[in-house]
A and B are shown apart, each in its own frame.
Chain A
Amino acid sequence: MRNSYQTIPAVITKISPQTDNIKLFRFEFEKKSFKISGDDFIFRPGQFLILSLPGWGEAPFAPCNRLGEELELCVRSVGRLTRKLHSLKIGDKVGLRGPYGNGWPLNDLSQIANSKSSEKKNLLIIVGGLGLIPLRTLILGKKEFLGKDAKIQIFYGAKHPSEMLFSSEYKDWRKNGVDLQLTIDASCPEWRGCVGLVTKLFDAAKVVENARAFVCGPPVMYKSVIEKLKEKKFEEEDIYLSFERRMHCGIGVCQHCGVGNFYTCKHGPVFEYGLIKNTLGAI
């Protein structure tokens, strides 16, 4: 019978440092017949997978890009497993399993975008810190996932300019029609942009219209962002939140990621706001 806990060996093909303690890793599966482009490991933006380094354990990560037969994970060195991962070199191996969860609700979005209706085809992405990671696949695959006419606006808050992820790509994103708005928590000499929490961008920039909002960030961020979204007249069904929780199994059994009636791994990690707004401990 199928074993959900079995991992598939993957090889590191590229490592690009992002910040002091964040690296972008590129992987391909060791067995070439195992296809990312086929049905073997296809993931939708917002889904996650579990990375395994036997001896150091397992943890969930949202992939942040899909490139032919390769995928990318952006990882901060913060615990035992991720410190070990950061010590690895090109050619070293890890185990991967998944993908898990539901991902961002894109099907109807691309349908709307391709239809003549002007309704909610655009996307407002509000992210803080590492929260940008699960949205990068979507940003890079804008045309594929959202249709060519959709607008993407990003509100991204980081602690410090040096902690901004994928900063070398911003030029390309903007060229591609992405309205990227940045803010940092506290002023510093090398920053001339917006200073303040990510919610400040709601007032600093004109918010994209006819949009759904995808939100991902540290736990403290959600409440204030939702308040702002409501203020800007976003409907509950247009607000989607991606949750981070501790996970061990990834398939809705072990209980670690339980939130009210739901399991983050199985029913999430992306939740429609209306669905979980009354759930104790969700936001």
Chain B
Amino acid sequence: MNNAQLRKFFDKIKEDRVVFGPAIQDGKTIIKKIDDFRDLKLDGRLPIFSFKRFFLPEKESLFEYVGVNLSKPSERKTQKIALFGVNARDLKSILIYDQVFEKDPWYQERRENILVIGQMSATSEGKWEKIEEDLFEHLSFDIFLARFAPALDGLSPGESTRDSEPKRARISGDNDLTVFSGSVLGREVLENSGYNDFIHIQFSGPVKEKGIDKRMLRIKEKLEKQHDQAIWDRLGARCIECGKCSIVCPTCFCFRIDDQAELGRGRAERDDRSDNQGTRNRCWDSCFYQEFSELSGGHKFLNTTAKKIHFWYFHKFVRIPEEFDMVGCVGCGRCAEVCPVGIDIKEVLKEIEES
């Protein structure tokens, strides 16, 4: 897909979806609503924030309440959107959301309306020949746009496992994108836009054939065996419980449920004369926040910083793998980037591994 075709494809999608994607602002990659195709920046770089909020908003209304009765929010939008240019790491986190919120009606309703278009620059990912087998088949996307490095020209991603695939969907020019579909929706959208030169990838589940990464299993085991408390004490002494890592982490999905009383409307305007009216919201939470583990009466189970940061790691590297056979970390490194005291997840994992 060359640039002109990409533009046509983008415009076609924009006809019935609001498009969000990576763009550059003040020299940084961010995610924003893309109105002009020229703003879209598909260079494979990670935006500061992940695509989390499109799947799990910071705050969403679960119900409207009148008295004790809960009903579906009347103003709930089911806007159709397209996430245009989701990098492979953020795509991985979608697999986790899909599992965790499998039975969640609000998530499912939102999810149905999201068209996921993945992107990758081969140069930014390396080890290219195994990408289809190791990565593509284990990511959930509707459409994927891959930019192959010129040096690897001639190597088709289909070649390793798909001999019967038509050979036409190859790298053709330096800047062209190779296009894959990953769902029926993706195929339809591509065909409707008049672009047919794509390869279909069959999603083979979130876990590679070889199983969960061996190193991650070692880390899980260490954590389960309470390897070395000193690591957590040291981290506890550094961490300032700001919770920034939770906010930027694509796989931090903790939430709390809060009621918000409505003050605006007078009683006369409502059908029900109950005084008690408002919305029940689900909001992002963080295990670093004070109330996270607090019981009525004030007892806190996570009563030290060390316990909180341990809880954060334990969730990603033990509970998520235990529950879903996936690692709860996509390796994006955003937590390290925003940490005011320089805690680097890579170093922490290395320390755990070597403990």
Hey, which bits of chain A sit against chain B, CB under 8 A?
A: 1-7, 9, 52-59, 76, 78-79, 81-82, 93-95, 218-219, 244-246, 248-249, 251, 253-256, 258-261, 278, 280-281
CA A58 – CA B62 in complex, angstroms? 13
Query: Which of B98-106, B150-158, B180-188 faces chain A?
Result: B98-106
CA A111 – CA B154 in complex, angstroms? 69
CA A82 – CA B297 in complex, angstroms? 11
A93→B256 contact, CB < 8 A: no
Q: Which residues of A contact B256 (CB under 8 A)?
A: 248, 254, 256
B254→A54 contact, CB < 8 A: no
Query: Which of B26-34, B171-179, B287-295 faces chain A?
Result: B287-295
A-B Cβ contacts below 8 A, count:
114
Q: A52-B70, A57-B259, A256-B292 are in contact. List 6 more A-B contacts (CB 8 A).
A: A4-B103, A7-B68, A255-B315, A259-B301, A280-B310, A281-B311
Partner of A261, one of B69, B285, B294, B319: B319
Majority-rule SS of A interface residues: loop
A9→B68 contact, CB < 8 A: yes
Q: A95-B70, A245-B293, A256-B254 are in contact. Are A56 and B259 (CB under 8 A)?
A: yes
**Minimal beta-carbon separation of B249 from chain A (angstroms):** 13
Partner of B63, one of A5, A59, A260: A5
Hey, which bits of chain B sit against chain A, CB under 8 A?
A: 62-63, 65, 67-70, 100-101, 103-105, 108, 224, 226, 253-259, 261, 276, 278, 280, 285, 287, 291-297, 299, 301-302, 307, 310-311, 314-315, 318-319, 322
B62→A255 contact, CB < 8 A: no
A-B CB proximity, top 4 nearest: A54-B65, A79-B296, A255-B254, A95-B68
Q: A1-B108, A5-B63, A79-B296 are in contact. Are A93 and B103 (CB under 8 A)?
A: no
9 contacts between A and B (CB under 8 A): A6-B63, A55-B278, A78-B297, A79-B296, A95-B70, A254-B255, A255-B254, A255-B287, A256-B285
B310→A54 contact, CB < 8 A: no
Q: Which residues of A contact B276 (CB under 8 A)?
A: 54-55
Q: Which residues of B contact A254 (CB under 8 A)?
A: 254-257, 285
Q: Which residues of B contact A82 (CB under 8 A)?
A: 296
Partner of A1, one of B105, B226, B261: B105
Q: A54-B280, A253-B100, A255-B287 are in contact. Are A245 and B295 (CB under 8 A)?
A: yes
**Minimal beta-carbon separation of B216 from chain A (angstroms):** 15
CA A259 – CA B295 in complex, angstroms? 14
Partner of B68, one of A94, A244, A245, A278: A94
Q: A54-B278, A244-B295, A255-B254 are in contact. Are A261 and B318 (CB under 8 A)?
A: yes
CA A207 – CA B292 in complex, angstroms? 39
**Minimal beta-carbon separation of B27 from chain A (angstroms):** 35
**Minimal beta-carbon separation of A55 from chain B (angstroms):** 5
B315→A261 contact, CB < 8 A: no
B224→A253 contact, CB < 8 A: no
Q: A54-B280, A219-B299, A253-B104 are in contact. Are A5 and B68 (CB under 8 A)?
A: no
Which among B62, B68, B285 has the greatest number of chain A C-beta atoms within 10 A?
B68
CA A260 – CA B315 in complex, angstroms? 8
B68→A52 contact, CB < 8 A: yes
B310→A55 contact, CB < 8 A: no
B261→A55 contact, CB < 8 A: yes
CA A173 – CA B67 in complex, angstroms? 39
Residue of A nearest to B322 (CB): A261
Partner of A54, one of B67, B285, B293, B307: B67
Residue of B nearest to A255 (CB): B254
A258→B311 contact, CB < 8 A: yes
**Minimal beta-carbon separation of B260 from chain A (angstroms):** 9
CA A7 – CA B68 in complex, angstroms? 9
Residue of B nearest to A93 (CB): B68
CA A278 – CA B226 in complex, angstroms? 9
CA A248 – CA B104 in complex, angstroms? 14
A260→B297 contact, CB < 8 A: no
Q: A9-B68, A256-B292 are in contact. Are A280 and B226 (CB under 8 A)?
A: yes
B259→A248 contact, CB < 8 A: no
